[in-house]
Amino acid sequence: MYFMVSSIILISLIGTLSHFLYDMTNHNKVIGLFCAVNESTWEHIKIALTPTLLWCFIDGYIYGTNPNYFLAKFSSLVVIIVLMPALFYGYNFIFKKNNFIINIIIFYIVIISSQFTFYYLLRIQPIIFLCKYVSCIGLFFVFGGYMIHTLMPAKNFIFKDPITKKYGFNAHK
């Protein structure tokens, strides 16, 4: 329980910092690969993914021998990728307006949900080899997609900055 709470706190702090780090480093492109460069939904997904991926160095050391580790890690990342836009667009659809406080709450709900998923899956019965294999490949696809969508964002609403109406690094004001 202590490790899960610690992971939630540290991932949340690093994610919050990464929202501002691109500006703080005078628009360093390397930092921009891992931190938010605009206000698009994708960049907010990214500020939850980055610290969760970095946390692999710690939880992998501690739980890496668990037979469900790759399933748990992959699933925790998928929770971020799916839940962040679902909650954000869901509440915007219902209330027809964007609220800064609700956006922050969503960020923390997503981090908590991701970490609960991770720790829950570590504790279930060991999964079959095929699931381990697919989860490991899924991790590579998530990381690859992360880099591709950061460097070459698709021209759709998830990647579009609502302020500048541009995409990726070009959308920074």
pLDDT of amino acid 98: 84
CB-based burial, 118-138: b 16+ in 10 Å, e otherwise: bbebbeeeebeeebbeebeeb
Rounded Cα–Cα distance for residues 162 and 167 (Å): 10
User: What is the reported pTM?
Assistant: 0.92
Q: For the segment 87-114, what is each residue's pLDDT rounded down to a tens digit?
A: 999 998 998 888 889 999 999 999 999 9
CA pair distance 25, 130, nearest whole angstrom? 43
Domain count, the chain: 1
Range of the domain at 124: 2-171
- Looking at residue 11, its pLDDT comes to 96
Which pLDDT does position 170 carry in this prediction?
82
Mean pLDDT over residues 133-162, rounded?
Answer: 90
Taking only the tens place, the pLDDT of each residue in 39-79 is 999 999 999 999 999 999 999 999 999 999 999 999 999 99
Q: How far is it, in rounded angstroms, from Cα 20 to Cα 15?
A: 9
* Residue 47, helix vs strand vs coil: helix
Q: Of the candidates 26, 33, 11, which has an alpha carbon nearest to the alpha carbon of residue 112?
A: 11
Find the mean pLDDT for residues 148-159.
91
pLDDT of residue 173: 65
